[in-house]
Amino acid sequence: MGLYVKNLFLIVLLLGALIGSITGAAFAQDGASPIQTLLQSHSKKLKRSSAKSIGPVIEAIRESGLPQAQNVLEKWRAKELWFRKSDDLLIFVETNDKKTYSLLDIATGQSIGSATKKEIKQIKPNSGVRGLIDGALVFFRLTDSDKAVRISALDSLGRDPKAAYLPIIRTALSKEKDAGLKTRMSRMERILIARFETDTAKRVVAIESFADDMGIDVRAALNPLLSSKVKVAMEAPDMANLARDIFPGVTIKNDGGTASEALYYEWLGGSPPELSMADAYILLVKAKLAPADVSIEDQKTALISNIKNGQVGGVAIADLNTDKARATAYRALVREDLAAETISVEEQHAVIEEAFFYGVYDQKNMDVVRAARTTLASINSKVSINTFFDLFLDAMSLASIYFLAAIGLAITFGVMRVINMAHGEFIMMGAYTGYVVQQFIPNYTLSIIVAVPAAFAVTFAAGVVMERLVIRHLYNRPLETLLATFGISICLQQLAKNIFGTQARPLTAPDWLDGALVINEVVSISWIRVAIFVLGILFFVLLLFILNKTRLGLETRAVTQNPRMAASMGINIDRVYMLTFGLGSGIAGIAGVAIGLFAKVTSELGSDYIVQSFMTVVVGGVGNIWGTLAGATLIGFLQKNIEFFNPSNTLAAQTYMIIFIIIFIQFRPRGIIALKGRAAEA
């Protein structure tokens, strides 16, 4: 009886445990989170993680609308998604120690127990699966509530466009409410269609829609459609996707040129050859259309292998120190059938002349190729026009800088005939004045407003002191003036080094001068350059007003025309000289503030502009504001054009410019706009 009761008790316990486990399982299933339920419905595919079958799983997660979907995808991609072997529960894992792991719920992130490494298994997506997950993550970022996140996702998509992104961008586009961002998404959709759409008609329409778009991303999307491979045959090719004929040693595209025409264009010094003669023969060998030549290494090996009695092919080893001797020895081995015969350059060229080299488009769909070729031709023509306009703006900007730097010199040189080699140091003093002002006024806008008149006042005073102490004693003695001002220039540079050191000092522009005025993808100009251009115009108008409408201007013009007659009319020439020199120096100081906003403020700042300033004054016409403007414009445009055609060598640009100016002066020694009357004879 006791044994019976004992067995009955055990049976009851087992039934209770079984019922409890079934109830617990049912409870666990009923209490599972929606994201857990979704993943469990795709459990087999999820564990297998095959790129061929995982697509519907990722799409289901993406389209679920569950708040945990993005986090699960990110964890999955990072190989942080696991499952528990006992019940296939999907979990995140944190390491406790080397033996146990904390299990985290994928919906809440809360701990649901621990397990050993044997009780859990990691889901490891391969590169193909990770690529599909990336596409889904892009979708989440493109539909994020934060506009900045959506913009960042769109930028990221543009840097690495993929075919998988096309349906994603379409879905995101249908949900986007912001008009500006919707326009950008629509443009990105057209780029993806142009690259990856399977429908030819839609693809061609998308490609042709970019005919007026000069964006770099558009050109990056269309250029691969015209990529090609170089092929060779012994007969003229006849195929639909023929890109061009290729002549080894020169490139002539789609013009049916002959070999003699190719040599003619090569003689003219055209572009580097698309296919060299050596590479052409290698291509023939790979295509098994010509025998392989014996390499230099193989020739050396043959020579070494046939050394007998201190000779190779009748040539002593000691004499094998030249290419000619080695070639003689190798030919002897060939005659004795001890080495393979080489193929001469003449023989290689003869084979090359008989073959046809051509390019074949990688893209087989010629409708797409023709659309891409036409669109890129339209884009490139617009890019060329806008590049010229961008070059024009750069030249105008440089001209305005040279005008500001030279106008003060033009005034002093024109009125006083003083060659002031220290003019550049007044520019440097103005820049340092701006730097000092910013040390006391941290507001950059206010500091620049204060720095402009402060720089004028400092350099005006310095110019007056220099004129009173040095220049006034050297009038009509140009050589002594040149040497004296050159010495002052060196002294001022050293003084600046002693005060400010040799390290470059920052002259910071206000925030509203940051960035650039962007007209399109090709044309842009920094706001600092725009501000300098406006400043140059203002000073030009102001100086015209001073010289034509004020007493000082009238006296200055009178002294310029005829100093003796001006003195006899009661004009104080010394005072005019002093104020004129001070005015020219003050304008140089303002130019220094402007230049310091984009250039490094050092003691050598002025020496970088003194040569251009003198060239501007001489070329434009001494003592003439209009001439200075014309000279600055000519030199600015000349320098930018030379740099455009020779961008890697700025020193060459300076050299060519000086040569041009020397030649120009030979034909027009008085400059573009020369003074007339007595002033020209002075």
pLDDT band at 456 (very low <50, low <70, confident <90, very high): very high
Do 614 and 486 form a contact (C-beta atoms < 8 A)? no
- Are 363 and 225 spatial neighbours (Cβ–Cβ below 8 Å)? yes
Instruction: Choose between 476 and 355: higher pLDDT.
Output: 355
Amino acid identity of 621? Answer: G
Instruction: For 242, list phi and psi in degrees, rounded to 5.
Output: -70, 125
CB atoms within 10 A of CB 478: 12
Cross-strand partners of 308: 311
Residue 413: pLDDT band by 50, 70, 90 thresholds?
confident
Categorize the per-residue pLDDT at 672 as very low, low, confident or very high, splitting at 50, 70 and 90.
confident
Residue 103's H or E segment, with its range, is: strand 100-105
Tokens 């005008």 -> residue: 403
pLDDT of 255 higher than 70: no
Helix/strand/coil percentages in the chain, nearest 5: 65, 10, 25
pLDDT, tens digit (0-9, with 9 covering 90-100), for 77-103: 888 888 888 888 888 888 776 678 888
Q: How do strand 120-122 and strand 81-84 relate by DSSP bridges?
A: antiparallel
The pLDDT tens digits for 12-62 are 444 444 433 333 333 334 457 888 888 888 888 887 777 778 888 888 887
Give me the pLDDT at residue 250, please: 64
Task: Say if CB 444 and CB 438 are below 8 A apart.
Answer: yes
Is 458 a residue whose pLDDT tops 90?
A: yes
SS3 at position 588: helix
pTM higher than 0.75: no
